């Protein structure tokens, strides 16, 4: 499985170089009849998991994560047409958005990349998202988790409002919630009844897995 290891290393290095492009390696692996699931899980996702762990330990920073995510996406783009036929189920579906009144999206986008890199199906709700929009997207996509981000203390109440709206809807017992962002704390998550809190993008993956009972 030397090629799969090369794909993993390519993601870790964020390798988009002409000669060892991750997409080229994925194509080569497919030509050699390596199973799609093996390429995805042991190559692309495994590489992104290493980056996630290093990010958590402050061994790499946001630029490296973005480069690795771009390399991974170049590989998944090749696999995409084949995924439907290979019966590979995502770990779960997460709707991610920045709450009403908040226009910041760098943190949200980073969390989305990490979740996708871990094998989740992620729906981008965007910025300035009203509670109704979160609920609508969760219903449309049969989501397992709604993730909310806020960078401003003044927009944090939007998280509370969204959780109240979810609890008052048919999604009450079906969808887990997770919150994060610079001013957000575990205490605040407990106070408003959020299912989980993550201080950074890598921890968000672990917490989402924990919420869904994924080892």
Cα 181 to Cα 61: distance, rounded to the nearest angstrom: 17
**Per-residue model confidence (pLDDT) at position 20:** 64
Residues 72 and 131 reside in one and the same domain:
no
Angle, helices 22-31/62-83, rounded to nearest 10 degrees: 30
Residues 119 and 207 reside in one and the same domain:
yes
Residues 119 and 44 reside in one and the same domain:
no
| Phi, psi (rounded to 5 degrees) for 9 | -65, -35
Has residue 156 got a pLDDT over 70?
A: yes
Residues 69 and 148 reside in one and the same domain:
no
**Per-residue model confidence (pLDDT) at position 170:** 96
Identify whether the C-beta of residue 43 lies closer than 8 Å to the C-beta of residue 72: no
Residues 140 and 68 reside in one and the same domain:
no
Distance of CA 43 to the CA centre of its chain: 17
Cα 164 to Cα 89: distance, rounded to the nearest angstrom: 30
Q: What percent of the chain has pLDDT over 90?
A: 87
Residues 145 and 106 reside in one and the same domain:
yes
Confidence at 88, pLDDT banded by 50, 70, 90:
confident
CATH code of the domain covering residue 48 = 1.10.1240.10
Classify burial at 161, counting beta carbons within 10 Å of its beta carbon; exposed 0-12, middle 13-18, buried 19 or more.
middle
Has residue 212 got a pLDDT over 80?
A: yes
Residues 153 and 77 reside in one and the same domain:
no
The predicted model gives 173-202 an average pLDDT of 96
Residues 197 and 122 reside in one and the same domain:
yes
Which of 32, 53, 86 finishes a domain? Answer: 86
Distance of CA 133 to the CA centre of its chain: 19
**pTM confidence score:** 0.87
Residues 155 and 103 reside in one and the same domain:
yes
The domain tally of the chain equals 2
- Record the tokens describing residue 2, joined without a space: 């030397």
Which of 55, 86, 117 finishes a domain? Answer: 86
Cα 198 to Cα 56: distance, rounded to the nearest angstrom: 11
CATH code of the domain covering residue 140 = 3.40.50.280
The predicted model gives 176-190 an average pLDDT of 97
Residues 100 and 178 reside in one and the same domain:
yes
Q: What mean pLDDT is reported for the chain? A: 94
Residues of the domain holding 13? 2-86
Residues 73 and 150 reside in one and the same domain:
no
Cα 187 to Cα 68: distance, rounded to the nearest angstrom: 33
Has residue 120 got a pLDDT over 90?
A: yes
Among residues 199, 193, 198, the alpha carbon closest in space to that of 94 is found at 198
Give 128-151 pLDDT, tens digit per residue.
Answer: 999 999 999 999 999 999 999 999
Q: What percent of the chain has pLDDT over 70?
A: 97
The predicted model gives 168-176 an average pLDDT of 96
Which of 60, 86, 112 finishes a domain? Answer: 86
Residues 81 and 103 reside in one and the same domain:
no
């Amino acid at each position: 499985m030397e090629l799969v290891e090369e794909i993993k290393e390519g993601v870790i290095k964020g390798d988009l170089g002409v000669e060892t492009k991750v997409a080229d390696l994925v194509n080569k692996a497919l030509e050699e009849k390596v199973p799609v699931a093996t390429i995805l899980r042991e190559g692309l996702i495994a590489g992104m998991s290493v980056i996630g762990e290093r990010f958590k330990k402050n061994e790499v920073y946001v630029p490296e994560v973005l480069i690795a995510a771009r390399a991974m996406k170049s590989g998944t783009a090749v696999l995409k047409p084949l995924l439907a036929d290979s019966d590979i189920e995502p770990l779960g579906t997460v709707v991610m958005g920045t709450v009403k009144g908040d226009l910041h999206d760098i943190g949200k986008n980073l969390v989305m990349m990490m979740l996708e890199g871990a094998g989740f199906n992620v729906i981008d709700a965007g910025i300035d998202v009203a509670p109704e929009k979160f609920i609508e997207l969760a219903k449309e996509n049969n989501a397992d988790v709604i993730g909310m981000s806020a960078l401003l203390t003044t927009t944090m109440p939007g998280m509370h409002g969204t959780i109240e709206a979810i609890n008052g809807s048919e999604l009450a017992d079906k969808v887990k919630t997770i919150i994060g962002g610079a001013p957000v704390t575990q205490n605040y998550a407990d106070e408003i009844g959020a299912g989980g809190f993550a201080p950074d993008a890598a921890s968000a993956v672990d917490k989402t897995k924990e919420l869904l009972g994924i080892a």
